[in-house]
Structure 1
Amino acid sequence: MTTPHAGTPERSLVDRALSVLSAFDRQNRTLTLSDISRRSGLPLATAHRIVNRLHSWGALERGEEGSYSIGLRLWETGTLAPRCSPLAEAALPHLMDLRARASAGALLMIRDGLEGVCLAIAWSGSGTPLCLPESGDRMPLHASAAGLVLLAHADDAVQNHVCESPLRVYTPTTPAHGAALRQALAKVRRDGYAVTHRTLDPDCASLSFPVRGAGRAVVAAVAVVAPADSFQPAKVAPLVSAAADAISQHARSSTLRPPRTTP
């Protein structure tokens, strides 16, 4: 009779716990136990046991009606991520100023593997485009201005992986092939910024500049997002550039790490 590896149960439990947490997303913030079981692929009894453990620690909160949501303790733990909290806090005043000056939504994005993650955002009020993401949202690198900036300055391995993979087409103007994407990335490096027009959402346009840390490595991107019909890149470019420079000053003086190379 063979004996299982001593680490197997612990790893299995971690994987199952992560699958429970991964069942929640922006469109599914509150789930019943049955929902969690279905979305995680775990048997109901297993999901119940793990949910109880996560609830007792504070990773999940239970509503009066019996459904669950992400708990405050998990959020508190997430704010300790060194690539997120300090940079987001430093960037927010500049994003708010950019929002007011550009009359557009302003955001800060970092790259995590093959995706962009929105760290901070400032809305422009009632005129904010519906396509503007929320803090914590993940966005495609190939279809957003901030994503193009981050991808253009990523390692060759990351660029090759994205360009050689199937590209999701969101609108008729989304880069659909690797050759077109490589041309777009070369233009970003040449111009120093990225502009997208109806590539992610048919009603939105965006412009983004890089945020540079130590050694001038690109660690994030600042972007404005506005209705495509009224977007004026020449007008907002100096404003976005100034905000990126201001945030870069903080990034250079901090211990912010560059994005990880592989997904």
Structure 2
Amino acid sequence: MTTTDEPRSGARAVDRAIAVLTCFEGDDPELTLSELAQLADLPLSTTHRLAQALLRGRLLEQDPATDRYRVGHTLASLARPALTRLGLDSAAPHLFALAAGIRITVSVSMVEHRDAVTVFQARPPVSFCHHQVPRARQSLRSSAAGQALLNQDGVRRTGFASELIPTDDPIRAVAVPILGRDRRVRGALAVQARSARLDDELLRSVVPAMRIAAGRIAPLFQTGGVTTDLESVLAAELRSR
């Protein structure tokens, strides 16, 4: 192998390891080796080799009872500076308190390109189910979190955005914008649950609690960030019309 080949080989290995790690940004917190290989579009043997390296580096963990893989504590530690930069480490106690109070998972979303991306989740100690876990990446225009991030007239008028997600057991998602003192969007606070549970009566009690929490955590978020990204998205869409 020549010297010029080594960086290519190393870069390819890193790219594949990243492909394995990004498999965990979906709805399933734990994945089998075959699921990892399928999602990463890699051979099973290659996936196993990469997974073992990630286990040794503690970026992944493996459940000894099921052999399923999950994100390791080291990866969470590496993410802490980003959470600090976004203000989410300081906001976490408020988000967990809200989740416990309304007994629904609370998510924070921010803008990335033209999507609303989930960057943090606080699960309740009771009443959790998989229906409460949002997609990692959602449409900025059609999702409740995306509409809250856009904060256009309808959201400004009602104070929240709502979305009915059609499945065999329909899911209702609700989101409120996280607004700075300058009234610019810092992120979106969202919850979702089976629509049979998150009905109009529960919505009337959940939304005020979400808006109070959004107001409390807004000063903890760094200025700029999501606002800059959002303004770029809107400007690009206006130019395309």
TM-score, length-normalised on structure 1?
A: 0.63
The corresponding residue for 2:106 is 107
How far did 1:149 drift?
0.6
What SS does structure 2 have at the residue aligned with 1:80?
A: helix
In structure 1, what residue type is equivalent to 2:79?
A: G
Letter of the 2:28 counterpart: Q
| Cα deviation, residue 250, structure 1 | 2.2
Partner of 2:216: 246
Aligned partners of 1:104, 1:41: CA distance in 2, in Å?
Answer: 37
Paired AA for residue 196 in structure 1? S
The 8 Å contact of residues 23 and 36 in structure 1, kept in 2 or not, is answered as: yes
Cα distance, 1:12 vs. partner? Answer: 1.3
Q: Distance in 1 between matches of 2:67 and 2:157?
A: 50
Aligned to 2:122, what secondary structure does the other structure show?
strand
Residues 137-164 of structure 1, C-alpha deviations (whole Å, 9 max, x = no match): 51524454333111x15xxxxxxxxxxx
> Is the contact between residue 106 and residue 121 of structure 1 (CA under 8 Å) also seen in structure 2?
yes
Aligned residues: 221
The aligned amino acid for 2:189 is V
**Partner SS for 2:81:** coil
Q: Which structure has the highest helix share of the two?
A: 2
Q: Alignment partner of 1:61: what SS? A: strand
Aligned to 2:239: none
Residue identity over aligned pairs, in percent, reads: 22
C-alpha distance in structure 2 between counterparts of 1:95 and 1:66, whole Å: 28
Which residue in 2 is equivalent to 1:187? 154
1:98 and 1:43 map into 2 onto residues whose CA distance is 40
Q: Which residue of 2 aligns with 1:217?
A: 184
**For the Cα contact (< 8 Å) 1:196–1:206, is it kept in 2?**
yes
Looking at structure 1, the residues matched to 32 and 131 of structure 2 have their Cα atoms a distance apart, in angstroms, of 25
User: Which amino acid letter does the alignment assign opposite residue 47 of structure 1?
Assistant: T
- 2: CA distance, partners of 1:239 / 1:23: 33
Instruction: Report if aligned partners of 1:104, 1:224 keep a CA contact under 8 Å in 2.
Output: no
TM-aligned CA distance change 1:18 to 1:86, over 3 Å: same
Aligned counterparts of 1:104 and 1:191: Cα–Cα separation in 2: 26
State the partner residue of 1:27.
28
SS in 1 for 2:82: coil
Counterpart of 2:110 in 1: which secondary structure? strand
Correspondences of 1:160-199 after superposition (within 5 Å): 185-188=152-155, 190-191=156-157, 193-196=159-162, 198-199=164-165
User: 2 CA distance for matches of 1:222 and 1:104?
Assistant: 15
Contact 1:83 1:257 in 2 (8 A): no
- Cα deviation for residue 129 of structure 1 reads 7.0
The Cα shift of 1:107 comes to 1.8
TM-score normalised to the size of structure 2? 0.67
Gapped regions of structure 2 (runs ≥ 5):
234-241
The alpha-carbon distance between structure 1 residues 143 and 122, as it changes in their structure 2 partners (threshold 3 A), is: farther
Q: Flag the 1:112–1:12 CA change in 2: closer, same or farther, 3 A.
A: farther
Go from structure 1 to structure 2 and tell me whether the alpha carbon gap of 1:228 and 1:77 turns closer, same or farther (over 3 Å shift).
Answer: same
Structure 1 194/129 Cα, relative in aligned 2: closer, same or farther at 3 Å?
farther
Structure 1 gaps, min length 5: 154-184
Greater gyration radius: 1
Aligned to 2:145: 146
The equivalences for 1:20-99 within 5 A come to 20-24=20-24, 25-27=26-28, 29-32=30-33, 34-64=34-64, 67=67, 69=69, 70-82=71-83, 86-93=87-94, 96-97=97-98
Q: Is the 8 A contact 1:92 1:120 kept in 2?
A: no
SS at match of 2:133: coil
